[in-house]
Structure 1
Amino acid sequence: MTLTPQDRLITALDLPSVEEAARVVTAIGEEGQFYKIGYQLFPIGGYDFARQLGEAGKKIFLDLKLFDIGATVERGVKSLSAIGGDILTVHADTDVIKGALNGRASERLKIFAVTVLTSWDQSHLNDHGIGMGVLDLVLLRAEMAAEAGADGVIASAAEAKEIRARLGDALEIVTPGIRPAGVAADDQKRVITPGDAIKAGADRLVVGRPIVKVDDPALAAKAILTEISQFL
């Protein structure tokens, strides 16, 4: 499937209310086709809002990072399937991934495994007693995800090139931590520009604050779409 720039840009609606999220979606207009709903919005109306966006023809990325025993994840995904989303995140664990695959109502809902959070660096791995480096852990978890049947992974663009080299097109890669040149990294550790992420092999990019926290979200989204287009 050939992805358009609009298919590749996922706007993260990490906002404190559904009303504010709806204003951002309206402001972006037709340029915005894919939206992420995560922990901040989901418990306060995000479930219904996600369904509304889907019914309006938008694509939905449910960033819920599920992690539990496989049977519990399976039941949870069955409930979430009622939203009609397009991507759901789980942790990169074999039982978790298989449970999610068993629970989805149709293959429209793609199961993506989180490798290593882009807010983590080597010091975080050390704190958790993980002896390997960030890249090695990302690759290990990407291989686990592919073997378990996941549709894709969430990984920093810093690792996307290595994932592509090792696994080819076995997995789609969604990359958070995207920051246009000159924009602050905020709480992200492994950030990269939209163009560099596409060059590295990322399929889709998750962008939040550089779009939703500016005066003109439509202008910000269009600038990122233009940069994506230049590297396709």
Structure 2
Amino acid sequence: MLQMTNNPVFCAIDRDDIASARALAASLRAEVGGLKFGKEFFAANGPAGVEEAGQGLPLFLDLKLHDIPNTVAGAVRAAAARLRPTLITVHASGGPAMLRAAVEAAAAFGPSRPRIIAVTVLTSLDDADLKAVGFAFDSGDLAERLARLALDCGVDGAVCSPHEIGRLRGACGPDFKLVVPGIRPSNSIADDQKRVMTPEAALAGGADYLVIGRPITAAEDPPAAARAICQALRPAA
């Protein structure tokens, strides 16, 4: 596992073409703190693609694992053994047994273990969406409930909307890592994210890591966009 620098930005490399992903990652190597690879990239290119495009930066493997405990534990072990990611995501809604299995699988790698991060409520969902799929809680209540569950199971941190940062920090304490997507600089559009915040506000509010994709990767000059974001964060970091 590569340790994070004091740069809190993970850039989301959400594309399936290995050549363009490799080139993009190489161009961002000096500008961001780490790289995030999710399901789109992983489904197209697998572990070998992550190794090729990873550029030796800290790796956030955002697979949002959600299955029976034994399967999730096996996936964590396989990913950790080959890729040595800094962070791996699982869905908190997978339940206590699944969360504990993921934590135990990661612990086998000792000090270099990946940190297990639980996904609470996707930032593309609002309260109406949660009601439509049967949840009785609003997004803030559900995020806190799932984060507390993750903490109780030994999970290292949670993914949450920018709007739940303060609430989860208060509920889970200063050592629980908060990984925050839905980050949009003030000059960018929200795209399909419904609960967003600027990088400066999210970091000042208590986020540990910021996940930023399209404001960097879709920019005319991705390295310059990443540099501008990170420079703006330095007074708050």
Alignment of 1:207 with 2:212, yes or no, is yes
Question: Is residue 195–residue 230 contact of structure 1 (8 Å, CA) maintained in 2?
Answer: no
Alignment of 1:153 with 2:166, yes or no, is no
SS of structure 1 residue aligned to 2:216: helix
**Unaligned stretches of 5+ in structure 2?**
none
Structure 1: how far apart are the matches of 2:46 and 2:68? 25
The equivalent of 1:115 in structure 2 is 120
**Identical amino acids, percent of aligned pairs:** 36
Alignment of 1:195 with 2:200, yes or no, is yes
1:1-232 paired onto structure 2 within 5 Å: 4-6=5-7, 8-52=8-52, 56-81=55-80, 82-92=82-92, 93-104=95-106, 105-107=108-110, 108-232=113-237
**Unaligned stretches of 5+ in structure 1?**
none
TM-score computed with the length of structure 1 as normaliser:
0.93
TM-score computed with the length of structure 2 as normaliser:
0.91
The Cα offsets for residues 9-38 of structure 1, whole Å up to 9 and x where unpaired, read as 000000131111111112223123300000
Structure 2: how far apart are the matches of 1:3 and 1:201? 17
SS of structure 2 residue aligned to 1:31: coil
Shift of 1:157: 1.4
Provide the alpha-carbon RMSD of the alignment.
1.6
Structure 2: how far apart are the matches of 1:15 and 1:69? 28
Amino acid at match of 2:65: L
SS of structure 2 residue aligned to 1:40: helix
Number of residue pairs matched? Answer: 229
Question: Is residue 18–residue 46 contact of structure 1 (8 Å, CA) maintained in 2?
Answer: no
The Cα offsets for residues 64-94 of structure 1, whole Å up to 9 and x where unpaired, read as 0001111111112121112111100001121
Q: 1:5 to 1:218 in 2, by over 3 A?
A: farther
Shift of 1:97: 1.4
Question: Is residue 25–residue 32 contact of structure 1 (8 Å, CA) maintained in 2?
Answer: no
Of the structure 1 ranges 119-128 and 160-169, higher mean CA displacement relative to structure 2 is found in 160-169
